[in-house]
Amino acid sequence: MVNRRRFLQSITAAAAAPALTFTSKPTRASSAALPADPNQVIDVPEGFSYTVVSRIGERMADGLVVPGAHDGMAAFEGDDGRIVLICNHELSAASKYAGPYTDSYSGLSEAMKARFYDRGKQQSPGLGGTTTTIYNPATGETERQFLSLGGTDINCAGGKTPWGSWLSCEESFASPGPAFSNHTTLVTREKRHGYVFEVPSSATELITAVPLKDMGRFEHEAAAVHEPTGIVYLTEDQWHSLFYRFIPHVPGQLQKGGRLQALAIVDQPAKPTHNWDRTDARVNESYATQWIDLDDVDGDKNDLRLRGAALGAATFARGEGLTVAGDQFAFTCTLGGPARLGQIFSYRPGPFEGTAQEQDSPGELTLIAEADKNSLFNNCDNLTMAPWGDLIVCEDTSDDSNHCALVGVRPDGSQYLLANNAYSDSELAGVCFSPDGRTMFVNIQYPGMTVAITGPWPG
């Protein structure tokens, strides 16, 4: 992977923090690069350890069970040193074996069912949504878990807000009516899907699911908030996707609506960034941006990205993970680059972001990294900025000869293996740190669990 210096120029903390001393590998991650886990859950570096925080099928406080397909996640400060984890579950209505209800949905109270978004005419309620976990880092124990968002579909990634909530994003475009899911299971949908839902970290039970429709109906992936303005940036998991921003009418109150826009490159309308068959975007070259207003953002057709591109929006190769990184945002494109092994872009908001003056000093888009066959990681997905300034990247590789890993990327572009899922074919997801930076959480999506990794982190 290539040098990332432009991306981290403004992150002065990275230069001051001590560097991790894990061995940097010039080739793909392998199970031999880290000590083998005798319990065959996940390999971590020497001197580090993990605790399983959440596991599919465990009984929760509300009588439901922990659903599987753990995906995007965030950690919040709880009471008395506890950590509140809100975790997405990327489940379709056909995944009954991994859902939270098993055989218990029919026995739920009507008051509880009323909080679900889509009840599927009582036959196929949405199985996605979020769980909330109260974790005590002092004891390493999970003290309480419950379903906090229910009745949604394929909740993939999302984003943490500065005001203490989690934005859970549906990677779905299901419409009302009967349909076959996975070509075999007949499910019924009562409502349209493809929305963002907000889950407060203060919730103590299942919330009433309310879609934020002004944030668009499309196959959402991740979200991140620009704290100075309250603007929300959004990625989309499509081969030719857009990079969006949502300007709320009232910062911090997304339910009051706002404007959805798509990013475009100044003087290069409908610019592709894939670098598949030609060089569309050069590494470390910055592009001045502008934003295009989108209409009919809650439409019946799954064509928002197509209409945006027709208006001049730039397109990306499967936008996935998105994180706040200092004064910028980093986001991944899982299939970007000539080898289709992934790209990392940064977007730096301008000083007048979201105002009529922003074209006087526009935001900048920069391709900061592009993987090839010699890169440590394949197909970057979820990511976060570590407290010491490195990017921590989850893999979702389709290469059957390699396991999915967590890869750290330093400011100088060097990489290191941080954890390795050597015991299943599952992707890793939801990487995030506790508010005090002492614990890193990550999900092993299948069969479904969250682990907390502790050790001698920098600083």
Strand locations in 13-140, DSSP E? 49-55, 70-77, 83-89, 129-136
Asked whether residue 13 carries a pLDDT value surpassing 50, the answer given is: no
Distance (Å, whole) CA 205 – CA 61: 9
CB atoms within 10 A of CB 373: 10
To the nearest whole number, what is the mean pLDDT of the chain? 91
CB atoms within 10 A of CB 108: 19
Q: How far is CA 57 from CA 245, 252, 437, 443, in A?
A: 37, 35, 29, 15
The Cα 87–Cα 131 span in angstroms is: 5
In this predicted structure, what is the pLDDT of residue 16? 31
Buried-exposed string 389-428: b where 16+ CB fall within 10 A, e elsewhere:
bbbbbbbbbeeeebbbbbbbbbbebbbbbbbbbbbeebbb
The CB-side HSE value for 131 (13 A sphere, CA atoms) comes to 37
Q: How confident is the model at residue 415 (pLDDT cuts 50, 70, 90)?
A: confident
Mean pLDDT, residues 53-72 taken together: 97
Give 184's pLDDT tier (boundaries 50, 70, 90): confident
pLDDT for 411 equals: 81
pLDDT at 19 over 90: no
Q: How many CB atoms lie within 10 A of CB 324?
A: 18
Is pLDDT of 15 > 70?
no
302 CB-side CA count, 13 A: 17
| Per-residue model confidence as pLDDT tens digits over 220-231 | 999 999 999 999
**Confidence bin at 398 (pLDDT 50/70/90):** low
Mean pLDDT of 364-377: 91
User: 148 with 206: CB under 8 angstroms?
Assistant: yes
- pLDDT surpassing 50 at residue 25: no
Give which of 153, 139, 147 is closest to 86, Cα–Cα.
147
Helix (H) or strand (E) holding 110: helix 110-113
**Closest Cα partner for 389 from 459, 334, 441?**
459
Question: Rounded to the nearest 5 degrees, what angle is found at the Cα of 47, between the Cα atoms of 42 and 48?
Answer: 40
- Residue 51: partners with Cβ closer than 8 Å, 6 or more residues away: 140, 451, 452, 454
* Alpha carbon distance 70, 65 (integer Å): 13
Residue-wise pLDDT tens digits, 186-201: 889 999 999 999 999 9
Of the pLDDT bands very low, low, confident and very high (cuts 50, 70, 90), residue 413 is confident
Determine the residue type at 377.
Answer: F
**Quick one: which of 230, 200, 91 has its CA closest to 156?**
91
Sign of CA dihedral 43, 394, 448, 184: negative
Is the full-model pTM beyond 0.85?
A: yes
Percentage of residues in the chain with pLDDT exceeding 90?
A: 82
Tokens at residue 96, please? 């009954």
Q: CA nearest 255: which of 199, 296, 203, 214?
A: 214
Least-confidence region, from 29-38, 47-56, 165-174: 29-38
User: Is residue 2 very low, low, confident or very high in pLDDT (cuts 50, 70, 90)?
Assistant: very low
Question: What does the pLDDT look like over 331-369, one tens digit per residue?
Answer: 999 999 999 999 999 999 999 999 999 999 999 999 999
List of residues 6+ apart from 9 with CB closer than 8 A: none
Of 9-23, 239-253, 269-283, 411-425, the range with the lowest mean pLDDT is: 9-23
What is the reported pLDDT for 94? 82
Torsion of CA 178, 179, 180, 181, to 10 degrees: -110
Residue 185: pLDDT band by 50, 70, 90 thresholds?
confident
- pLDDT at 207 exceeding the cut of 70: yes
- Ordered domains of the chain (ranges, CATH): 5-454 (2.120.10.30)
Mean pLDDT of 255-278: 98
| pLDDT in the model for residue 26 | 35
Q: What pLDDT was estimated at residue 106?
A: 86
